[in-house]
Amino acid sequence: MKPHTPPRTNTDTPTMGLGGRFLLAACLLAAAGPSPLVSQARVVELPSEDLELAAEFSDVFRVGDGGAEWELLTSITSLAFDASGNLHITDVGPGGDNMRVLVVDSRGELVRAFGRTGEGPGEFRSASSAVVLRDGTMVVPDYGHRAYHVFRPGGEFDRMVRFPSAHGDEPAEPNQLPGPGRDFSTSSSTSFPLQRGESGGTLLGFVYRTFGAHATVTAEGGRSMTFGSQPGPRVFERLSIDGRQARVVELIGAWVPPGTERLPVPAFAPKLLFDVLPGGGFVFSDSTAYAIKFAMPDGTVDRVLTRPVEVRAVTEEERDRYNDQRQLENAELNRRLRERSGSVVVDDNFIELDPDYPVFPSIPVVDDLRATWTGGVWVRRTPQDGYPWEDHVTGGTIRPAHFNFETSAAPVSPIDVIGPDGRYVGTFPAGSGAVMFAAFGPGGLAAYVEHDELDVPTVVVMRVPPEVR
């Protein structure tokens, strides 16, 4: 089946106060245009007042501070539970390589550990994260092999599946091009998708970054190669890995905020946040407004849950305050990077900030989103007087592949809980002790990563009560 390119939906709404409820539903659907994938979506407005929830979570176990050699963690890039309650932890070395996978049971005991660098099947050349299916199957994208490693639930290597051509075009090397005598040029690109495992064994996600290479040989024998990158197209796609080469089908395009088509993406630009649902389909947020969209497996948006939460406009004073905060965070990040690199460092600053860095005109309400094991949704809102978390492109507590450093801890902010039936359950207030979990598992298990003062990670597993699962 040839993938179709679906129309994009725009549900961004003007800045409004709590008292300005001017037919938000009409705005959402009118902005969507004629797309049949969203035009018939039911819009449900959730209560405007927060119903406070108590963060009554119970500790289950921790991984990383027990003293065992296998617990020594460096940089955790993914967390996921399987149906047996096993937690899969992906950890990479200081340079973003030497990935290994730890699987611990529901009591925190090590079940197995695997993963090593190498050239053969099941050995990683350039891999730094994994996708876990509910049955425990693990899928590891490897950009060195340009293929997915598929491991059986027991950790045994099963097979390799080649990247689809859209994700893994091999960049041409200058020494592979024709010699002198005529001009010759070639271009290629590699896409980096952010993916989650679906119940049917497929992967769902979107491309968050595309890297391109352009090589040229002139008639006189000159050779050159240029590289570039750009943000992904914000189109949800499903990846099937049941053959020798993966197959991609596009589902639906999310809204593309102005200015995000190229780098640098403006600060405060709405993230594309999503997670898969256990019964099929997925949930996502793509705009500045509080609009949580539930899509069926084919990408059709079935319903949109809204809350009349104010969208803050960015004033000049706000921008100046934000730039000052970024400068402080950048100085701290550079200090930590210098400490990690030691004598290798020759530059005072690894990362420099442009004082004229572009800023989106409004601050989005939703800053993170995660589906629970049973189909509920946790929505972390941007702090009322703060900014969205800029740790990475997804807004979650786990960094995606190829982004192996953190800029700051996630801000403390309210977390809304929506039940599997779509009803508003309540809100954990900022400062209540609630955290935005990176992974939810069966029986109320939930996990997140915390760092100590030396940036050493520890995985914390807790159990949440039934009413917020």
67-124 pLDDT, tens digit per residue, is 899 999 998 999 999 999 999 999 998 776 789 999 999 999 999 999 999 998 899 9
For residue range 39-66, list pLDDT tens digits in order: 588 999 999 999 999 999 999 999 998 8
Q: How would residue 468 be classed by pLDDT, with cut points 50, 70 and 90?
A: very high
pLDDT of 420 over the 90 cut? yes
- Global pTM reads 0.83
b/e burial code for range 191-203 (CB count within 10 A of at least 16 → b): bbbbbbbbbeebb
* Residue 428 near residue 414, CB atoms below 8 Å: yes
- Residue in the block written with tokens 């520890």: 458
Asked if the peptide bond before residue 264 counts as cis, ω within 30 degrees of 0, the response is yes
Specify the pLDDT at position 354. 65
Specify the pLDDT at position 106. 96
Specify the pLDDT at position 324. 82
Specify the pLDDT at position 186. 67
* Residue 447 near residue 438, CB atoms below 8 Å: yes
d(CA 27, CA 21): 11
d(CA 27, CA 289): 11
Which residue type occupies 38? V
Specify the pLDDT at position 222. 75
pLDDT of 349 over the 60 cut? no
Q: Could you tell me the domains of the chain?
A: 24-314+359-468 (2.120.10.30)
d(CA 77, CA 48): 35
For residue range 188-244, list pLDDT tens digits in order: 667 888 899 999 999 999 998 888 777 777 777 777 777 778 888 899 999 999 999
- Mean pLDDT, the chain, rounded, equals 82
For residue range 160-184, list pLDDT tens digits in order: 999 997 554 544 444 454 555 556 6
Specify the pLDDT at position 373. 98
Q: How would residue 409 be classed by pLDDT, with cut points 50, 70 and 90?
A: low
Which two three-digit tokens encode residue 231? 């943000």
Specify the pLDDT at position 346. 44
Specify the pLDDT at position 307. 97
Q: How would residue 37 be classed by pLDDT, with cut points 50, 70 and 90?
A: low
Which two three-digit tokens encode residue 26? 């009409």
DSSP string, 24-77: HHHHHHHHHTT-TTTTT-EEEEPPSS--B-----EEEEEESSS--GGG--SEEE
- Residue in the block written with tokens 């069966």: 442
For residue range 258-303, list pLDDT tens digits in order: 998 888 888 899 999 999 999 899 999 999 999 999 999 999 999 9
Mean pLDDT of 150-155: 93
Q: How would residue 25 be classed by pLDDT, with cut points 50, 70 and 90?
A: very low
Specify the pLDDT at position 88. 97
